[in-house]
Amino acid sequence: MVWTSWTENNLGRRFYGCPNYKANGSCGYFKWLDPPICIRARRIIPGLLKRIEGYRAREMIYWVVLVISWVITIAVVLLYACKKRTLRNEGVLFLS
C-alpha cells in the first residue's frame, strides 16, 4: 500500500508500507517510492503548508460571515413582510 510521509525531513514523500502500517499488527514492510527531498524543499514546504492552513481558516471565517449575513437579510425581509401584513390587517394604508 502507498503511504505519504508528513515528517519534517520527508514531507510529502511517498513510500510503500504494510496495509497495517499504523496498527500494532504491522509486518514492518517499508520501502521509499519517491527519491529523497532536497534541502531547499525541506525548508520551503512547511511554510507553504502553514500558509495553506491560514488561507483555509480565513476562508472558513468568510463563509461563516456570508451565511450570517444571509440569515440576517432573510430575517429582516420576513419581519418587514409580517409587519406590513399586520398593519394592513389593522387598516393602515400603504402606498407601496
Give the model confidence (pLDDT) of 35-53 as tens digits. Answer: 998 889 888 888 998 999 9
Structure confidence at residue 45 (pLDDT): 87
Q: Determine the Cα–Cα distance for residues 1 and 17; give it in Å rounded to an integer.
A: 6
Q: 59 versus 26: which is more confidently predicted?
A: 59
- Only one residue has cell 390587517, namely 89
DSSP 79-95: HHHHHHHHHHHTT----
Q: How many CA atoms lie within 13 A of 43 on its CB side?
A: 3
Of the chain, the percentage scoring pLDDT greater than 90 comes to: 45
